[in-house]
Structure formats: structure tokens, C-alpha cells
Amino acid sequence: HYSINEPNTIDKLDKFQLLINSLKCSNTLYSNSPIEYAGALNQCVEVILRTGIADISFADSLLEIESKILRVDSIDLKNIFKENSFNEITIYYNLVGLSILKKSDTTLTQSALFSLKKLVNQLEIITENFTDFKNIPENQINSFLLIASQYFYHSKDPKLNKILNLYRQKVSQSISKAVNFMTESELSQFIQNEIFSKTDIFFELYDPNIMADDYTSFLFQLALQTKGLLMRKSTELNKFIAESKDSSIVSLFSKLSALELQIKNSPDQKSILFKQKETYERECLRLLRSTHKEDSFNISLLKEKLNKGEIAVEFIKYKSSFRKNSPEKYMALVLDSERLYPVAIPLFEESQLLNSNAYLNISKTTESELASNSNARGTGLKPVKDNNHSHHYKLIWEPILKTFPETKLINFSSVGILNTLNLNSLSITKNETMIDKYKLRQFTNTYNYTTISVNQPKVFDKVLLVGGLEYGENSQISKIEDQLHWNYLPGTLTETKSIHELMRKKNLNTTLISGLQAREEIVTEFLKESYDIIHIATHGYYYNIQTVSNNSKNHSHSNPLFNSMLVLSDANSIAKKDIFTKNGYLNAYEISCLDLSKTKIVVLSACETGVGLNTNRYESTFSLVRGLKIAGAENIVASLWSVSDRSTIQFMTKLYSNLLNTNYSVSEAFQITQQQVKAIQSNDSNWSAFILIN
């Protein structure tokens, strides 16, 4: 149990000794009960194959013992369900198949293919060509189908369609049934342990020469269903609470949020408080599901939104569920208005991006350098220049645009390591970038495009501006690495005053908060009101547990939204600083509890506001952007690395000049701003740090 579910709990050598002890105990306990002994062997083999605590040859030797105990070679497969050892035999066959696949690297050898063929033939007899699964448990049926699909894929057999269709029905049912009633913690575990293993195979085994033409429609549907699933459920719950007129529901959610903060502040009571939180969350979910319809994704609706020359791109990351040393791969699923079905385009292995000298590495300014880095709006994440100008473009965009050469507008949703890149600013040539040739719109899920009207005129009325913050002094600071010191940013006051003047000329109702008035408790109160535009110019900070000093690591929080934050006024004046429990920081979790559903655009004019922990390949990073999306904000401008205080003024004033131009949509205004600033700051990475999430 611990070997599989708590992989870091026990040392590998200790695990192996536990395994040997288990085998000795099983041999003694079940000496007169062969079926029970076979079951114990199955469990030990599964642990070996799933964790690698012993060589696979050792697992094979245990399977050989088990085959003799169960008399596998002499069993009548057509009547196997009549055997007392029916369950153990079906598990045995699955483990044999898993062992064959685990011993393969990227491709199956002829020997492995022959062994799989023999096994699949046996499975076909047992299940009458996969039409009658009798009393076989659901998880064993799924394993049968996975093993058979691997064989049919590598033998180029069209039977693969039938097997994957069967598996697809079972997976779709299990996912839709499970996710609607899970708490956030349960759903996160379910995504990691179940969805990854159950859905990767659909992308891994895609072969256009074998698959039916409409198979790519299923892949696109699957991408829409799973992409951002955790965030979508959090947003649904937040919206339900915000729109509720029932005071008891609002009170319940308040208790839920208060418990999350208690868990953060009282680690010694975490277990008890977490159970209470789960109880409140289940009650909220029960109330939500009583009125809320299940998610549905109609590709036809998305297709109808697309004009000629416009595409929707879902980037997908996947890996083999079975192969050892399996590389993580990327694929693009592309939908347009003219083709009958989406097109699946294999792209690259992650290592090609990571190991390349051209990868846009992000380096970290040390915290001891922070005090002198007065020109940056954060702790100094900065990009390393890509000297091979078109490398990223060739890996990511070129295969797509060669397939769709008439493309003029790209709607896309990132995934995995692509979340750390500004895909709008990738170089096509030395002097030309993506924004010079194409219109681009980035979403957390391209299906969001169906819910918005891009051409609808922008109507802004109420605006909140925050800038020119005074972070206070702290004479007691002796170690910068333990107590961050935030420098005054004069450019943020200049910036917000310039924007305020633009708003005044348009007769917009504008509130400007600056100086010590921009403390956390005051800004939070303002954010409880409804604004069309919210602009915050300050320091941004991502508390990355991998880069902070050892002295600070005890502050890290289990909810990654607490680790991404905006620095507000008076942050330096807290004598004994704890960035998670004291005032001065507004983190992404606190933002996620707000109701920003009426906010058309939030602009975070700060460093690293789009940076956060990437917990799984289906989710966007746990950044400030995520907190704002859960809160309901429609459009968000954020940054992927450090931005200059002075250079950002120019970007932001141009952005608002374009936003207030009624001829431009939000995405058009943003891209025009990028083009304008790029022309002026051609050697500056500042303009390319900012992204717009629609």
C-alpha cells in the first residue's frame, strides 16, 4: 500500500525488505490455500511492476510460480468463469501483459509482440472477442482492453478501433460520474491517479492509418473535458455561491473559506480542520449539483464560432502508461470551420525543448540581489535570450501552420511547459514574431470561446487603479533571504496617474488608491465592489519552494494558490515577516474567494503574476491568473517573468489607449500594444513578458 500510494514514505531498500517479508508471511499463511496464496503473489507482482522496487525478472519468477498454482496451462478458457480461482486468473493475465509492456522501451520487440499476441488470443477466448466480460471486475476489464489495444496498435490491426471504443465508453462514464461529487482534494487525486492513466492511451495509440476518421473528434472532446477540470469545478462552485440569494449557502461558503485560512495558520491542527473543510465542501457540492447541469462540450458549437482562416488549437501532453523511460510528448488538436473532423498533429518530446540550448530558460535573481534590484517589479525571474531564433516556432507552431497554411487567427490553450512560454512572441525569423503575422487569442480551454462575443463593443464604466504603493521600512532586516525587502516603484505611480488621466478624458468613474492607502485590508474591501477594469501595479511574488532558502521552506503551504501573491502597502513594516499569515500580501487563494464575475479585465502590472506551481498536465499553473479566473474575471493580463518598472509604464499606457478605442476588442487591443511596444523596445524582453488570458 505504501509503496504505491506513498512513494516517498519508505526507502527503496526498506520496501524491498517489506516485499520479501510479505512473501514469507504469505507462504506460511496460505500454505494450504493456493487461491489465497496466488492472490498474495498478484499483489506483490503489482507492487513491483508499479513501483520498480525490484527487477521485473523477479516479478516474472513470481508469475511463473503462480501459473503453476493456478494451473493456467490446463484451464478451459471458455469456461474460466466457473473456476474458483477466476478472479486471480484474470489478474494474473493482466499482470503478465503489464510485465511484457513494462520491459519494452519505446517500441515492442518481435519477441514481446509474439508474447502479447498469445496473451490477447487468450483474452479473446475468455471474453468472446471482447463482447462478454461476464463477472470480471471493472478494473480488470479496463486492463484487458489496454493490453489488447497495445497489441493491435503495434500489429497495425484495425481491431484497435473496436477496443478503444469499448474502453472509451467505460472511461467516459467513470469520469463523468466521479468528478461531479468530489471535493477539490479528491478531484486532484483522481486526476493524478485515474485520469492520467486512463486517458493517455487514447493519444499515445493514435494512428491515422488505422483509426476511424471521426476518432479525432473524440480526442478533441476528451481534451475539452479534461483541460482545466479542477479549475472549472472551483469556478462553478464560486459562481454558484456568488449568485446565490440563500444566506445559508453564503454562510456555508464563508465557513469553508475560513477553514482554509485556519488550515494555513494552524499546521498542528491540519488533519482535524481538513476533515471539517471536506464536510463543508461536500455540502456545498450537494447544493450545487441539485441545481447545476453536468458539463457538456459540443464541438459543433466551437466549430460554428470559427471563421474561414481561423483555428482552435488544444495543446495536449501525454506519455505511455506502460513503457519504462517513456518520454513526455506533445500533440496539437486543431479544429477549423472547413474540415469535417479535427486534425491531430504530433509535435515534440518535452526533452527536445528542455535539453535545447534554445529553450527559453528562466533564471532566478537571488534574494540577496533583490534589495539592489529597484527597477524590477518582483524577485527577478528573467528569460535567457533564444539565439536560435526560430527553434521554438519550428517545434510548436510550424507543424500546425504547415497543415493549415491559410490561417490568420489562432485560438489556443496551452499545457505543461508551454505555460512558461509566451507563444504569441515566438520568433519565426530573426526579425519576425508570431504577433507580426497572426492574430492570437489564448484561453485556459478553447471551449470558453463559445461563451463570449468577441465582436461585442466594449463598455467600461467603473475602474479601480492601484499603484505607487509605499511598502514601509524595516530597520530590523538583517538577512534578506529570510525577510524580503520590497523597494518603492516610482514608475507604478506615474503609470496609474497616466491611466487615470486617460480614464478621466473618457468620463469613466475611476478610483485611484496609492501610498499607504493600498494596504491589504483596504484593497480587499475595494475588490468586493464591482469594477469593469481593475489595474494593480506593484511587486508580484511567486514563493517557489525549489528556489527559496532552506530557512524559508517551512513557510510553504499545501494549497499552491497561497504561494502566488501581490505585494501591497506596508509589507516591509511587519517586523517578524511571515508572508502567509500577516498583512501586506494578497495571495491567489484570497483572490479566488472574491466575486469578480462582472469584471471585464484585470491587469496585473507586476512581475511573475502568471507564474505558479504546475501540479498536473491538465491544469494551468496555480498562479494569480488562476485565482482571478476562479473569481470570475473575464480577461487577465499577467506576466511570465520580471518586468522593468520604467519600461512597463510605456506598455501599460499604450494598452489602455488601445483598450479605450471602441474599434478594438480586448485581444486586438492587447496584440496591437505588443506590436507597438516591440517596435520601440526591440531589444527588450519586457513587451513579451505579458500575456492575455481570454
pLDDT digits (tens, 9 = 90+) for 174-186: 777 677 778 888 8
CA 241 – CA 233 distance, rounded (Å) = 13
Question: Residue 476 has what pLDDT?
Answer: 40
Better-predicted residue by pLDDT, 523 or 617: 523
CA 406 – CA 430 distance, rounded (Å) = 23
User: Ranked by mean pLDDT, which of 273-287, 394-408, 453-467 comes out on top?
Assistant: 394-408
Question: Residue 403 has what pLDDT?
Answer: 96
pLDDT confidence bin for 313, thresholds 50/70/90: very high
Question: Residue 234 has what pLDDT?
Answer: 85
The 3-state secondary structure of 322-360 reads CCCCCCCEEEEEEEECCCCCCEEEEEEEHHHHHCCCCCC
pLDDT confidence bin for 549, thresholds 50/70/90: very low
DSSP, collapsed to helix, strand or coil, labels residue 469 as: strand
pLDDT confidence bin for 356, thresholds 50/70/90: low
Task: Reply yes or no on whether the pLDDT at 264 is more than 80.
Answer: no
Task: Reply yes or no on whether the pLDDT at 213 is more than 70.
Answer: yes
pLDDT confidence bin for 475, thresholds 50/70/90: very low
pLDDT confidence bin for 523, thresholds 50/70/90: very high
Question: Residue 141 has what pLDDT?
Answer: 86
pLDDT confidence bin for 6, thresholds 50/70/90: low
Question: Residue 265 has what pLDDT?
Answer: 65
pLDDT confidence bin for 310, thresholds 50/70/90: very high
CA 380 – CA 642 distance, rounded (Å) = 5
Better-predicted residue by pLDDT, 429 or 9: 429
Task: Reply yes or no on whether the pLDDT at 458 is more than 80.
Answer: no
Task: Reply yes or no on whether the pLDDT at 84 is more than 70.
Answer: yes
Mean pLDDT, rounded, for 555-567? 78
Task: Reply yes or no on whether the pLDDT at 579 is more than 80.
Answer: no
DSSP character string of 493-525: HHHHHHHHHHHHHTT-EEEEEEEGGG-HHHHHH
**Which has the closest alpha carbon to 677: 646, 645, 655, 644?**
655
Look over the chain and give the mean of its residue pLDDT values, rounded to a whole number.
82
**Which has the closest alpha carbon to 191: 174, 205, 216?**
174
* Chain centre distance of CA 381: 21
CA atoms within 13 A on the CB side of 291: 11
Say what percent of the chain tops pLDDT 70. 84
137-151, 279-293, 475-489: range with lowest mean pLDDT: 475-489
Residues forming beta bridges with residue 464, ordered by sequence position:
511, 534
Amino acid, single-letter form, for residue 290: S
Mean pLDDT, rounded, for 85-111? 83
Which letter does DSSP use for residue 575 in this model? S
In sequence order, the 6+-apart residues with CB closer than 8 A to the CB of 86 are 80, 135
Q: What is the CATH number of domain 456-644+688-693?
A: 3.40.50
CA 175 – CA 563 distance, rounded (Å) = 30
- Residue spans of the domains in the chain: they are 2-157, 456-644+688-693
Question: Residue 483 has what pLDDT?
Answer: 59
**Which has the closest alpha carbon to 590: 227, 170, 265, 187?**
265
Better-predicted residue by pLDDT, 360 or 686: 686
Task: Reply yes or no on whether the pLDDT at 625 is more than 60.
Answer: yes
Cβ-based neighbour number of residue 73 at 10 Å:
7
Question: Residue 555 has what pLDDT?
Answer: 47
CA 400 – CA 319 distance, rounded (Å) = 21
Question: Residue 481 has what pLDDT?
Answer: 42
Task: Reply yes or no on whether the pLDDT at 480 is more than 50.
Answer: no
User: Ranked by mean pLDDT, which of 71-80, 323-332, 504-513, 617-626 comes out on top?
Assistant: 504-513
User: Ranked by mean pLDDT, which of 214-218, 243-247, 281-285 comes out on top?
Assistant: 214-218
Question: Residue 11 has what pLDDT?
Answer: 61
Cβ-based neighbour number of residue 459 at 10 Å:
8
Are the folds of 2-157 and 456-644+688-693 the same?
Answer: no
Question: Residue 86 has what pLDDT?
Answer: 85
Say what percent of the chain tops pLDDT 90. 34
pLDDT confidence bin for 405, thresholds 50/70/90: very high
Task: Reply yes or no on whether the pLDDT at 674 is more than 70.
Answer: yes
Select from 1.25.40, 3.40.50, 1.10.150, 1.10.3470 the CATH code of 2-157. Answer: 1.25.40
pLDDT digits (tens, 9 = 90+) for 429-445: 888 999 999 999 999 99
Question: Residue 554 has what pLDDT?
Answer: 44
**Which has the closest alpha carbon to 213: 401, 373, 340, 372?**
340
Better-predicted residue by pLDDT, 224 or 109: 224
Mean pLDDT, rounded, for 116-135? 86
CA 358 – CA 282 distance, rounded (Å) = 47
Better-predicted residue by pLDDT, 390 or 550: 390
CA 543 – CA 561 distance, rounded (Å) = 10
